Copies of this chain bind each other. A is one copy, B any other.
Amino acid sequence: MSSKIRVAVDAMGGDFAPGNEIDGAILALNEKGSEIEIILTGKESLLKDELSKRNYTGSGIKIVNADEVVTMEDSPTESYKNKPNSSLVISLDVQKKGEADATISAGNTGAMMAASVLKLGRIKGVGRPSIGALFPHDNGSTMLFDVGASVDCKAQHLLEYGVMGSVYMNQVLGINNPSVGLLNVGEEKSKGNELTFEAYELLEKSGLNFIGNVEGRDILAGTVDVIVCDGFVGNIILKFAESVPSTLKQKFIKYAAENVFKKVWVGMMYKTLKKLLSDFDYQNVGGVPLLGVNGVSIIGHGKSTPLAIKNMIFTAVNVIKSGVNQKIADSLAK
């Protein structure tokens, strides 16, 4: 029997699967092989081929066959029914059977959310499992909940997001007494819509470190640790934010095209700009946990690099070690 932490990796999930998934798994094992074990799910022959190409000789990787693949175009709920043998579902199966302690996937976010909830169930007291996005700032990150498109939230769900986000920021990212803000159109308590009025009351009485309403500008400003909002708003913000770097890059390219001098100049600037914009590539590194499910499920960006996959595996390990789920259950029981 193994005392290592076992992480199931949906090896067919991301846009560059299975290459990046396998490379990321090997990176993780090279760094923490004494602590973790990886279970790759996907077409066995393909995965074996890819593994042998990489000359990985360790014993930290196990393969579990899965014949089907969930694509980014598949419907979240239908893929669960129609592709029961997908690498995504099989990963969660392995976890459900107790043969893995966590699952990570860089695949179809909606499908991973739906399958995780259906396979693993919800933590007692959680109405809506949720994924957040981490927006880095100078001294850390701000987590925005929900960005998983859980639309038509009720006030009670926003309260749950506040609780889950606080526990996560505290236990996994080490923030002491994380502050929680309610995303709104103004700072005054009198601002907002029916949902925010009700949520404000609940958050105020919650015992969380609730600092009141925050605005769109607070998401990047580092003024608050956890921001809660309806998944409709959060999803639109996230997609807008993700489009900022490419918009700026295009502006650069267009500017460069104006003349040869500018072309040289922009070429020189590009590397610096890319570094500065990398913070806007939310979810690119490390993935985010689906909070509220009865188990550890980490969701990453489809474009995850091997480094991002490695960090997702480490995020899974941190979430397991910190006992986030038990603490969420305890906090909600209060």
Residues of B within 8 A of A254 (CB): 138
A193→B276 contact, CB < 8 A: no
Q: Do A185 and B151 contact each other (CB < 8 Å), given the known contacts A220-B244, A244-B244?
A: yes
Judged by a CB distance under 8 angstroms, whether A279 is at the interface is yes
Binds B, one of A115-123, A229-237, A308-316: A229-237
A237→B235 contact, CB < 8 A: no
Residues of B within 8 A of A241 (CB): 216, 240
**Number of copies of this protein chain within its complex:** 2
Closest B residue by C-beta to A242: B217
Binary per-residue interface labels of chain A (272-289) against chain B in the complex, 1 for a CB within 8 Å, 0 otherwise:
110111010000000000
Binary per-residue interface labels of chain A (229-259) against chain B in the complex, 1 for a CB within 8 Å, 0 otherwise:
1011101111111111001101110110000
Judged by a CB distance under 8 angstroms, whether A173 is at the interface is no
Given B138, B219, B242, B250, which contacts A243 in the complex, CB threshold below 8 Å? B219
A145 to B2, CA, bound (A): 57
Residues of B within 8 A of A250 (CB): 138
A240 to B280, CA, bound (A): 13
A227 to B185, CA, bound (A): 19
B233→A236 contact, CB < 8 A: yes
A269 to B252, CA, bound (A): 12
Instruction: Point out residues on A near B: beta carbons under 8 Å.
Output: 138, 149, 151-152, 183-186, 191-194, 215-217, 219-221, 229, 231-233, 235-244, 247-248, 250-252, 254-255, 265-266, 269, 272-273, 275-277, 279
